[in-house]
Amino acid sequence: MRRVVLVQLILFALTAAVVVPFGIAYVAGPRAFGDPIRLHTNMSDALGLTAGTTVTYRGVQVGKVASVALDAEHGGARVEFDLDPGTRIPQDSIAKVGMGTVAGIQNVDIFPNTDAGPYLEDGDTLAAPQDQQPVQMDQLMGDAARLLGSIDPDAVSTLGTELGASFEGLGPSLTGLIDDGDRLTALLERQAPELRSLLTRTASLVGTMAEASDSFVRGMGAARTFTGQLDDNRPVLVYLVDRSPEALTRTRELFDRYHDTFGALLANLATVTPVISDRHDALAVGLDEIPEGLGKLESIVKGDRAEFALVGTQGPVCNYDTTRRAVGALTPTEPNLTLYCPPGTDIAQRGSRTAPRPDDLGLQNATTPGTVIGPPMVQDPILVPTGVEALDQWNQLLEEFGDGER
């Protein structure tokens, strides 16, 4: 019997050791086994706070208001808070006094600006800016009362009378409007997936446009410039619009006439295009120089005849064996400053000895002679006229043709 009593006493002690602390924690809260964190704030208006007012953090109760008193040193009111042990409140948080329930019971809610530390410790100050405090229920009710008191009852009566007169006889139309609203709502409900997709894509498009705002502004500027150029060239556009139908008709006739040969034309273009693309720079220079050359070619026209002069040379010439560059190669190359023409009789050297060289080098370092090619000079210079004599004979022949019959 004594053994049973001893076991019961041991079980009772174990149960009390578990239940009593749990009951104390349930009744006293988290502060039953630790000291609360004491914070304070200075407010120009305590907004009716009293000791025991609930303090919440992100909507969860973490403590209570410990005391509210006048602050003679700083002016206003000093409010102290007791927070549960272990509560971590970021230092940049602010306190706002609001209504915890619709019945008008006040509470203090702490709003953090970040989730990271450092955190407030015992004795720190919690900010409570007065300009960020919400409107209190008494002030809201007072403003509402003043607003209602400023309304003229006669004006309300007149408004009701006018509204009644304006809606008189519009019952069928309003009924049809309501029915149409029901049908429109049903239609929108059926098209909800498409509308949701459209709104999502619109939001994505707006976001993309916002990211590319600089490019969009430049594009709008280019469009404005282009529109201005079109406006400046209005006469040309009018002329083109006037002539385009005839030109398009001729183009269509040309295509109809040669449509059987378009395949061969495209095949030829496939062959010619690489050749032209490799010589793009030469073609660009040619398009710039050809008009000038044609203008100079007009200078040989005398009346209705063209005058030509043929200049011929004879004898060997000096040739340099240089490596040809690939077509289209634009990289700069270093000049070979060692080339020179070897001296010889009747070699058309074109002044190689006196050709300008950089840094006044003259023939210094001229170690690579050119190759003499071409037939030698004829032995009897009388049989082959010189270039000046040939030019004179050619001009004389042209004059004789000019004096004869045409």
Contact 106, 51 (CB under 8 A): no
What pLDDT is stored for residue 405 in this prediction?
47
Q: What is the mean pLDDT of the chain?
A: 76
Among 60, 61, 57, smallest CA distance to 112 is for 57
Measured CA to CA, the distance from residue 11 to residue 381 in angstroms comes to 145
Q: Average pLDDT for residues 61-83, to the nearest whole number?
A: 83
Secondary structure (3-state) at 198 = helix
Angstrom distance (rounded) from CA 108 to CA 58: 11
At position 318, the amino acid (one-letter code) is C
| Tens of pLDDT, residues 230-288 | 888 888 778 877 878 888 888 888 777 777 777 777 777 788 888 888 778 888 888 88
CB 49 within 8 A of CB 106: yes
Distance, in Å, from the CA atom of 45 to the CA atom of 97, rounded to the nearest integer, reads: 11
Inter-residue contact 40 to 30 (CB < 8 Å): no
- In order of 62, 76, 116, 164, 250, the CA distances from 55 in angstroms are 6, 20, 21, 51, 89
Residue 401 has pLDDT above 70, yes or no: no
Beta bridge partners of 83: 37, 63
Q: For residue 51, how many other CB atoms are within 10 A of its CB?
A: 13
342 pLDDT above the threshold of 50: yes
Top-confidence residue, 170 or 89: 89
Omega before 153 within 30 of 0, i.e. cis: no
H or E element at residue 110 = strand 106-111
Above 60 in pLDDT, residue 215? yes
- CA angle at 122 for the pair 117 and 127, rounded to the nearest 5°: 65
pLDDT at 39: 84
AA letter at 34: G
Nearest to 82 by CA among 11, 137, 32: 32
d(CA 355, CA 7) in angstroms, rounded, equals 127
| Residues forming a β-bridge with 317 | 348, 373
Segment 39-56, tens digit of pLDDT: 888 888 777 778 888 888
Contact 90, 111 (CB under 8 A): no
Q: Residue 85, class by beta-carbon neighbours within 10 Å (0-12 exposed, 13-18 middle, 19+ buried)?
A: middle
Is residue 406 pLDDT above 50, yes or no?
Answer: no
pLDDT tens for each residue of 104-115? 677 888 888 888
Q: What is the pLDDT at residue 313?
A: 58
